[in-house]
Amino acid sequence: MSKKPDLDDAGQLFHEELREMPGTVPTSSAPCAATDFPRWAELGLDDPSRDERIPRKGQTADILMWALRVPGSTDPVKGILNAVAADFHSLSHLLAGSARRIDAALLLMERADGEAPTPPTFDPDAPTATEPSSQPSGEPAPG
C-alpha cells in the first residue's frame, strides 16, 4: 500500500512534472504553492516581490520581467504594456519639445542667412503707431 502524499510531496511531484514538460523552466526549486498572481505562474515566473526590489536570486526571466514591467503590476503582460505606453508617452513629449527647438533653430538660421523676414527691432524710444487708451485701466472700452 502506497503512502498518500502530503501537500509538500504533491508540490514536489508537480514541480518535477513541470521540469519534464518541453519549453518550461521552473522558477525555483521550492515546491509550488498557491499564488495570488496566477498569470505569473502561467508564464513560469515567480510572484513579484512585495518590496519591488530586483530579484537577485531569481531566474533570468524574473529579472527581465522586473525590468520590463511597471512597478506594482499585478499582471506581467499588462505591466509590460503599461510600461511601453508610458515610454511612448514620455518619448512623444520629448519629440514634441525637440521638434519645437528644431523649428526655432531653423527659423533663426533662415533669418541669419536672409532667407526669412526679420521683424523690426523694438525701440522703446520710438513713437508708437497707436494712441494710448483714454479709458482708465480696468474699464472696458465702449464699443
Residue 132 within any structural domain of the chain: no
Residue 129 within any structural domain of the chain: no
pTM exceeding the 0.85 threshold for the entire prediction: no
Residue 20 within any structural domain of the chain: yes
Residue 120 within any structural domain of the chain: no
Residue 36 within any structural domain of the chain: yes
- pLDDT reported for residue 80: 93
Residue 94 within any structural domain of the chain: yes
- pLDDT reported for residue 41: 87
Residue 23 within any structural domain of the chain: yes
Residue 90 within any structural domain of the chain: yes
Please state, in angstroms and rounded to a whole number, the distance separating the CA atoms of residues 4 and 7.
10
The residues near 56 (Cβ < 8 Å, ≥ 6 apart) are none
The domain of 48 spans 10-112
Please state, in angstroms and rounded to a whole number, the distance separating the CA atoms of residues 127 and 134.
17
Structural domain count, the chain = 1
What tens digit of pLDDT does each residue of 44-61 get?
898 888 888 899 999 999
Q: How confident is the model at residue 68 (pLDDT cuts 50, 70, 90)?
A: very high
Say if CB 57 and CB 27 are below 8 A apart.
no
